[in-house]
Structure 1
Amino acid sequence: MSDTTQGGAAFDRDRVYPVLPLRDIVVFPGMIVPLFVGREKSVKALEEVMRDDKHILVVTQKNAQDDDPSPDEIYATGTIASVLQLLKLPDGTVKVLVEGLRRARI
């Protein structure tokens, strides 16, 4: 089964999206947000979606100081986001511009 957003992007309810845990920010549908990503797992997740359809599930983590949050340490509801722009910085971090598209539950 698939759903369509206002912009026409189709989503498969059964699809598994890579997860990008966020510190101290909640991305809602319709928001365009710049993010700086430094965790190796998060950078790899972004690289994966850039090879595919550029959709990723952004979810706020419960404790911003946690460097490697487990599934229990992130909230159950997040937002499917589209990666609009990705820029690799010299220090190994990534600056990414995402647009929230649709709420999703883990």
Structure 2
Amino acid sequence: MTGRILHAQLHLLDRQLIDQSTGRLVGKVDDVEFDLEADPPVVCALISGQVRIPARQIAEIDTAVKLDTRGLDLTAHEAWVEEKIIDKIPGAGHATE
């Protein structure tokens, strides 16, 4: 990725995040954090939900963003979403109809 120019709106925002080791979808890029002290400014992290993903953990940027997810907890909010939203939908597993 060295020397490559990316446009955040086109290449990063709203892209799927994929765990490079498993191929599992782990989220979407919600925001981008820049190091404005660098010349030119560079991406220093991606934000997905409430999780900050350091740029060093970005393995590849293509139609999706592949990550080295070691040390990241990208599933912290899954249990809450399942309990408070998904389970309440009639016919969605444990939901009471």
TM-score normalized by the length of structure 1? 0.28
- More strand by proportion, 1 or 2? 1
Q: Which structure is richer in relative contact order (CA contacts within 8 A, separation 6 or more)?
A: 1
